[in-house]
């Protein structure tokens, strides 16, 4: 099933090849609870790849359906990093379906510092540049409503 144009998409940054590999092979992505985007709820997660991703850098190429949200510590998600300074920090773990490739990647014509972008799949599909994905009027609409206001009520949290 292909996403329709109104499906909500959260674009997140991938700074390490390992994190893209985890999303592809293990089916999850992590976001620190301390650094949540204004709009976390989405139907799909898309990945903006930084310079560390080599020839695919500075573009959005992949997306995946979000199946479930849960909370876990970094050490639960990355047990091989038990000594990491943030090992006990809490993260939202977005459990994902299979990664798919966009028909056309969405490049960033100029280097951009991106953390999260809330957009729609229609915009993602039509965009010729990352800057076309922002909804400036919607970015901070009712930020005090928390997860319920962000549409998280129907998602599973653990």
Per-residue pLDDT at 98: 96
Query: Alpha-carbon distance 89 to 34, whole Å?
Result: 9
Burial class of residue 11, CB neighbours in 10 A (0-12, 13-18, 19+): buried
26 Cβ partners below 8 Å, 6+ apart? none
pLDDT in tens, the chain (158 residues): 578 999 999 999 888 899 999 999 999 999 999 888 888 889 999 998 887 777 778 889 999 999 999 999 999 998 888 888 898 999 999 999 999 999 899 988 876 677 789 999 999 999 999 888 876 444 444 333 333 233 333 344 44
Per-residue pLDDT at 54: 73
- How crowded is the C-beta side of 10, counted as CA atoms within 13 Å? 22
Using alpha carbons, select from 95, 11, 15 the residue that is nearest to residue 61. Answer: 11
Per-residue pLDDT at 146: 36
Torsion of CA 20, 24, 30, 31, to 10 degrees: 60
Per-residue pLDDT at 152: 37
Per-residue pLDDT at 138: 47
Q: CA distances (Å), 50 to each of 15, 109, 122, in order?
A: 5, 13, 23
Per-residue pLDDT at 111: 63
Classify 8-154 by CATH class.
Answer: mainly beta
């Amino acid at each position: 099933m292909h996403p329709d144009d109104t499906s909500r998409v959260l674009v997140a940054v991938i700074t390490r090849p390992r994190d893209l590999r985890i999303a592809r092979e293990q089916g999850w992505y992590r976001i620190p609870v301390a650094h949540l985007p204004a709009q976390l709820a989405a139907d799909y997660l898309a990945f903006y790849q930084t310079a560390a991703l080599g020839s695919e850098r500075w573009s959005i190429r992949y997306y995946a359906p979000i199946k479930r949200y849960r909370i876990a510590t970094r050490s639960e998600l990355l047990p091989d990093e038990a000594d990491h300074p943030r090992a006990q920090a809490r993260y939202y773990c977005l459990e994902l379906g299979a990664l798919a490739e966009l028909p056309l990647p969405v490049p960033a014509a100029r280097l951009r510092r991106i953390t999260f972008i809330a957009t729609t799949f229609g915009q993602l599909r039509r965009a010729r540049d990352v800057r076309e994905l922002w909804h400036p009027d919607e970015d901070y609409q009712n930020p005090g409503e928390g997860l319920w206001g962000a549409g998280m009520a129907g998602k599973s949290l653990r």
